[in-house]
Amino acid sequence: MAGKAFFCGGNPMHEMAIAEGVLDIALDYAKKNDATCIREIGLLIGEMSGVVVDSLTFSFDMIAKGTIAEGAKIKVKHVPLVGRCTKCGKEFHIEHYDFWCPECKDGVLKTISGREMQVEYLEVD
């Protein structure tokens, strides 16, 4: 199971909504594969996603109680915010939301990474 994206839908309880999406994806995958236990969930979380990982983990632990995902470990891989200048082609890490190209000083770029909120993998039995 790789690359399944999830969406929070603008809920004021951002991390709880994300945790619900992650749990839905994990339970759906487990059901389709006759799994009886979800051991680990790997997430890709972009630097610009605004996700507070501790809150997400806490929320997930709460809503997973009584399911086959109870006790599952959440492993987060942080994805840096990277852009590519559309004028000169330079790729660079965007720091402090400074979207100006350090090479040519142009302000038009394409975001390459950093907005991810994605289930990267699941470990199930």
Structural domain total, the chain: 1
Q: At 35, which amino acid appears?
A: A
- Hey, is 85 helix, strand or coil? strand
14 is known to lie in a ligand binding site: yes
| 67 inside domain | yes
| 109 inside domain | no
- Confidence grade of residue 9 (pLDDT, cut at 50, 70, 90): very low
- pLDDT tens per residue across span 10-64: 443 689 999 999 999 999 999 999 999 999 999 999 999 999 999 999 999 999 9
- pLDDT tens per residue across span 90-103: 999 999 889 999 99
| 71 inside domain | yes
Residue-range definition of the domain harbouring residue 72: 12-80+114-124
pTM for this predicted structure: 0.83
85 with 109: CB under 8 angstroms? yes
| 76 inside domain | yes
- Hey, is 72 helix, strand or coil? coil
Q: Could you tell me the CATH number of the domain that includes residue 66? A: 3.30.2320.50
- Hey, is 24 helix, strand or coil? helix
104 is known to lie in a ligand binding site: yes
